[in-house]
Structure 1
């Protein structure tokens, strides 16, 4: 006898293993792409000259952008050296952790057949932009040396 989840049946969400696999396919693909990128950065050391291009903003102006040190941070993160990862780019490490949380929530929603919605209004977007701006300014000031890559 086949079990029927009444809640899902009423919502019109398909319930079989194939349906769940179909809903999880996109999050799995995103995870595979991110894992592949981290695997590449983990094997090709960004601390060695010539492996990656220099940040154009840093090269032209001498100013660290919010992403400067991100590859070194990812390399250290992959190798389990979280202190070095934070030292290379603390904002990037925060982004890695935020991705992990959001991806997990996305998978849980997908398995349950619920849409994943992230509704960022203007206030949240402006706040995110302000955070990036403050991070960039502080890491380029003399007292922000602890944020240099």
Structure 2
């Protein structure tokens, strides 16, 4: 039996195979989210120290993200925002892009190679750099974890 005849006999097989990417990414993300929710990053010895913080004494843009994810896993959005607001605000955008990827894959529409227009990516990079600088300045201490 040819491959075309096999596909005609199982019309959903191609879609299911195509969804392996988005579903695999969701499963991996869910596993990491579950692990960080179960293993408290506030307890010493479970995770390594941020190398940038260790070497410089300054916070990087990611400092506090593990604890923020742990707080989100326990439904404490306010605590998560206090630990790393940029990471928490980024979550809905990541969910949107994942949903768009999954939907386009399901509909067998071409998946764009970039997440967003390059101007948005550069703007986000600039935002991360400004966030990184401001959270280490005296007036930006409210952004520190």
TM-score interval, smaller chain: 0.7 to 0.9
8 Å Cα contact 2:97/2:115 also seen in 1: no
Q: Is 1:128 matched up with 2:124?
A: yes
Task: Decide which of 112, 134, 138 is 2:134's aligned counterpart.
Answer: 138
Which whole-Å CA distance do the structure 2 matches of 1:121 and 1:74 have between them? 27
* Structure 1 runs not aligned, ≥5 long: 1-14
Q: Give aligned pairs, total.
A: 135
- 1: CA distance, partners of 2:122 / 2:99: 25
Instruction: Determine the structure 2 residue equivalent to 1:84.
Output: 79
Matching residue of 1:69: 64
Q: Aligned in 2, Cα 1:17/1:122: closer, same or farther, shift over 3 Å?
A: closer
Following superposition, the deviation at residue 116 of structure 1 comes to 1.8
Give the drift of 1:50. 1.1
The reply to whether residue 103 of structure 1 matches residue 98 of structure 2 is: yes
Could you tell me which residue of structure 2 aligns to residue 94 of structure 1? 89
How far 1:52 sits from its partner (Å)?
0.7
- CA shift digits 1:31-67 (9 cap, x unpaired): 0001011111000000011111111111111110000
Give the Cα separation in 2 of the matches to 1:123 and 1:102.
16
Q: 2:39 matched to which residue of 1?
A: 44
Q: Which runs of 5+ in 2 are unaligned?
A: 1-9
Q: 1:122 to 1:27 in 2, by over 3 A?
A: closer
